Structure 1
Amino acid sequence: MDVRMTYPVRVEGNLATGLSRWLWLVKWLLVIPHLVVLSFLWLGFFVLTVAAFFAILVTGRYPRAIFDFNVGVLRWSWRVQFYSYSALGTDAYPPFTLADVPAYPARLEIDYPERLSRGLVLVKWWLLAIPHYIIVGLFVGGGTWLLGYTDDRGFTWAAGGLVGILVLVAAIVLLFTGRYPKPVFDFVLGMDRWVLRVAAYAALMTDAYPPFRLDVGAHDPAGPVTEPSSPEHWQPANHRWTGGKITSVVAGAVLALTAMGLLTGGSTLLWADRAERDADGYLSASNSLSATGYAIATKDIELAGTATDWSGIQRLVGDVRVRATAADPATPVFIGVAPSAAAAGFLAGAQYATVTDWSSDRYVVHQGNRTLPAPETAGIWTAQASGGGTQTVVWPMRSGDWTVVVMNADGSPGVNVVTEIGATVPALDEIAWIVIGVGLVLLAGGVALIAVPVHRAAQRPVGAQPES
């Protein structure tokens, strides 16, 4: 049987006559309200698709209420795309609704699948769809590459899709001639149709594999989007998703996604507390630092607060430990912690480096000709350690501006060390359980906010006829 007549995703877009020459220049501004709403609707789409995944895996069925919601989001998105820069096919402002609007020139319909494969749901959205993702990348971005150059980053890559390029060409022609090139429109609609078929397949809404075929033109070769013969035929299914239900689902999706972040973060903290401490109970990270000058220093570490504040901070952070090991075992190393003003005075006039980003080895190099003495003789250090091998300073954190300085113990230039910063963080276990607890509460609230409207949307209104 010809897939042209059977594919369950049908996409249409009728090119309007008399398009404004200039309106497309400001449509990016006009669609902002839609983009704001859709950003939240797509959160709901994502969460409900995950729920549908498990429902299909267990029952082999896509819950109808969730299906209607997700089709509505795709339909809404297609209208906005058709109005804006995926087609520029109409100047009629898109309606704010999940429902089908027969009078609008851009329409989308997806046949509801009575049964879906439990096995395919595990692989079709990522493995089986990979060839289509490559093609979709060419159409909408990520596959057509332009080489660019920037002064601060050198050569870099920027992506532009064929849809965007062709729509831009059509827009420029429209601006100067008042006509949208029909062949360009037909080709763009073919690419948009391909993208929406893949989106529906990846969202688990059909098991029918998208055809590798560019069906160009306004009308879908699988047949027209169904024109309802009477309002009673289509309003019950579409209008079950009222504004209140949609708002509840979106709020639930936001809570659920926030909860998943908290649960993931809390579990990570709990794992770090249990598995990542060293023999002395410290959680630490290390990095290699090197500089040609006399010292490597941190930026000013500004610590403020009263004694009462610091009792809480000490409970949270615990002991802070700084370690340094010279890359050359024969070179003794020095670590010192001093008030920032004293450290700046000690280093003034000499060449040294200030670390601006410890994790990525970024420095600001300070030039100078002064030779520094052996650092142990400076008399400015609140805490210090010096000698061969690994040197360790346990930092007595308290209010003030502080600088950590690493040097060769004899004050010679050329510092090359492996540094380690760690803390005991005694409250980490408690923090982890609090984060997990908050995540569980938010997850329960999010599930309730989603489940209740989905359940109500699945119920037929009193007196409504069963859906065909």
Structure 2
Amino acid sequence: MTTTPTAPVPTPAPTVQRSWSGWRTLLVVVGAFFALSGVTLLALGGVGLWAQQQRDSDGYFTAGPERVSTSTYALTAPALDIGGAGPDAFYTDDFLGKIRIGIESTTSGTPVFVGIGPAADVAAYLEGVGHDEVADFAVDPFRLTTTARAGDKPATLPADQSFWVASGTESLNWTARSGDWSVVIMNADGSPKVDARLSVGGTLPAVEGVTIGALIGAVLLLLIGSAVVVSTTRG
């Protein structure tokens, strides 16, 4: 009787597994960092998109109106440094864009004047005039901290001055530019006891750029981080 030999069953080759080295751990950590940074930028972009919806019909972000008052002849914000170095660079003209200030007297009769002018010229005009200078302010709740400057009434009316870059008795519009500026609020007839409601708005063009940049960066970082983590763990 002839026996047919049985073919030997091939033994599968041993699976070579890649050891989990320190480099792989490092790559996972780096990938996770990129992905987490992408999530952070995505949240920032989401806030930016929400902020874009807060503009009014004219494209301004607006705060107020809030009540401002002084028993003196003027209320001033004496140091608006635009385009400076260091921390002041945050308030560049590219960031602020167009500025709108609305002013409305809370008492009948005398209208309230608001003007923006070079700080040196404003200081010279108010030299010897009783006024309050804004030293600090809080937003919620709104509150001004002022420093009183003793003096008499102004020799001339605010609207008669030629140094204003923007002024008005109901509102003013100004495209921000580099310089050292002051904002002044007075009764138009130069009388004391200013009492008004003030609103401030700005187009803030940088908000749109920051939002787009954050969303693009978020997508890139999420793609890079996910690719690094997946390729490393699957290997």
TM-score normalised according to structure 2 size: 0.71
Deviation at 1:324, TM superposition (A): 1.9
Q: Deviations over 1:131-178 (max 9, x none)?
A: xxxxxxxxxxxxxxxxxxxxxxxxxxxxxxxxxxxxxxxxxxxxxxxx
Stretches of structure 2 that go unaligned for 5 or more consecutive residues are 1-18, 85-91
Tell me how far apart the structure 1 counterparts of residues 75 and 112 of structure 2 sit (CA, whole Å): 12
1:263 corresponds to 2:9: no
Equivalent residue, structure 2, for 1:361: 143
Within 5 Å, which residues of 2 pair with 1:35-50? none
Deviation at 1:246, TM superposition (A): 4.0
Query: Using a 3 Å threshold, how does the CA distance of structure 1 residues 314 and 403 change in structure 2: closer, same or farther?
Result: closer
Deviation at 1:418, TM superposition (A): 2.8
Give the number of aligned pairs.
Answer: 205
Aligned equivalent of 1:394, options 173, 178, 183: 173
1:435 corresponds to 2:214: yes
8 Å Cα contact 1:316-1:426 kept in structure 2 = yes
1:244 corresponds to 2:23: yes
Tell me how far apart the structure 2 counterparts of residues 325 and 385 of structure 1 sit (CA, whole Å): 11
Equivalent residue, structure 2, for 1:322: 101
Deviation at 1:339, TM superposition (A): 0.3
Deviation at 1:254, TM superposition (A): 3.3
Aligned equivalent of 2:131, options 347, 351, 357: 351
Aligned equivalent of 1:405, options 184, 201, 205: 184
1:277 corresponds to 2:55: yes
Q: Deviations over 1:5-63 (max 9, x none)?
A: xxxxxxxxxxxxxxxxxxxxxxxxxxxxxxxxxxxxxxxxxxxxxxxxxxxxxxxxxxx
Tell me how far apart the structure 1 counterparts of residues 32 and 97 of structure 2 sit (CA, whole Å): 37
Secondary structure at the aligned position of 1:381 is classed as coil
Tell me how far apart the structure 1 counterparts of residues 32 and 69 of structure 2 sit (CA, whole Å): 47
Name the structure where strand makes up a greater proportion of residues.
2
Deviation at 1:316, TM superposition (A): 6.0
Equivalent residue, structure 2, for 1:370: 152
Tell me how far apart the structure 1 counterparts of residues 127 and 32 of structure 2 sit (CA, whole Å): 55
Deviation at 1:415, TM superposition (A): 3.1
Query: Using a 3 Å threshold, how does the CA distance of structure 1 residues 399 and 429 change in structure 2: closer, same or farther?
Result: closer
Query: Using a 3 Å threshold, how does the CA distance of structure 1 residues 347 and 447 change in structure 2: closer, same or farther?
Result: farther
Query: Using a 3 Å threshold, how does the CA distance of structure 1 residues 365 and 278 change in structure 2: closer, same or farther?
Result: same
Equivalent residue, structure 2, for 1:298: 77
Q: Percent identity?
A: 30
Tell me how far apart the structure 2 counterparts of residues 302 and 454 of structure 1 sit (CA, whole Å): 53
Tell me how far apart the structure 1 counterparts of residues 73 and 32 of structure 2 sit (CA, whole Å): 54
8 Å Cα contact 2:61-2:203 kept in structure 1 = yes
Tell me how far apart the structure 2 counterparts of residues 258 and 357 of structure 1 sit (CA, whole Å): 34
1:384 corresponds to 2:167: yes
Deviation at 1:355, TM superposition (A): 4.5
Tell me how far apart the structure 2 counterparts of residues 283 and 448 of structure 1 sit (CA, whole Å): 39
Deviation at 1:333, TM superposition (A): 1.2
Deviation at 1:352, TM superposition (A): 1.1
Secondary structure at the aligned position of 1:300 is classed as strand
Query: Using a 3 Å threshold, how does the CA distance of structure 1 residues 315 and 362 change in structure 2: closer, same or farther?
Result: closer
Within 5 Å, which residues of 2 pair with 1:111-126? none
Tell me how far apart the structure 1 counterparts of residues 61 and 199 of structure 2 sit (CA, whole Å): 10
Give the letter for the 2:179 counterpart.
G
RMSD, matched Cα: 3.1
Stretches of structure 1 that go unaligned for 5 or more consecutive residues are 1-238, 306-312, 457-468
Tell me how far apart the structure 2 counterparts of residues 358 and 368 of structure 1 sit (CA, whole Å): 24
Tell me how far apart the structure 1 counterparts of residues 23 and 101 of structure 2 sit (CA, whole Å): 55
Give the letter for the 1:268 counterpart.
V
Tell me how far apart the structure 1 counterparts of residues 27 and 106 of structure 2 sit (CA, whole Å): 59
8 Å Cα contact 2:96-2:176 kept in structure 1 = no
Deviation at 1:245, TM superposition (A): 3.9
Higher relative contact order (CA 8 A, sep 6+): 2
Give the letter for the 1:378 counterpart.
Q
Tell me how far apart the structure 2 counterparts of residues 417 and 324 of structure 1 sit (CA, whole Å): 7
